[in-house]
Amino acid sequence: MPLIHVLNGPNLNLLGQRQPEIYGRETLADVEALCREAAAPHQIRFLQSNWEGQIVDWIHEARHEAAAIVINPAALTHTSVAVLDALMAFEGPVIEVHLSQVHKREPFRHHSYVSKRADGVIAGLGIEGYAAALRRIVQLLG
């Protein structure tokens, strides 16, 4: 079965602690468990970093080892041309996920560099957005 990368950006390691009224009370470990279940029978590589360069490196690695990427770039969504450029070099499907409904939030959150490459964008479903993204990826991969 093809490998799927699930990449998480800055501050997602604080899920359940940071602004639970916006991001929910579930932890990143809860997200990972949900992702593993939703991706079955595919394997996932579930990663989180607060460093833009690390996210870029993982996208580069995905070019050689993954069939698809689900990415929650967090704040890098709105700032990182580097993440966009790395994703443009990835040939498989990419789905962008956001826990909150970004279009109901501050205006700077309405713009996403990543969306210019993403084959789908899911926002506002909480951690269930990851499951929806992975179900779609599994469909696309057959």
β-strand 68-72 against 120-123: which pairing, if any? unpaired
What's the pLDDT tens digit per position in 111-127? Answer: 899 999 999 999 999 99
pTM of the complete model? 0.94
Model pLDDT for residues 13-53, shown as the tens digit of each residue: 999 988 777 777 899 999 999 999 999 999 999 999 999 99
Q: What tokens were used for 19?
A: 């602004």
Helix (H) or strand (E) holding 122: strand 120-123
Q: What is the total residue count of the chain? A: 142
Q: Where are the alpha helices (DSSP H) in the chain?
A: 20-23, 28-39, 52-65, 81-88, 128-141
Q: Check pLDDT > 80 for residue 102.
A: no
Active-site positions?
Answer: 23, 98
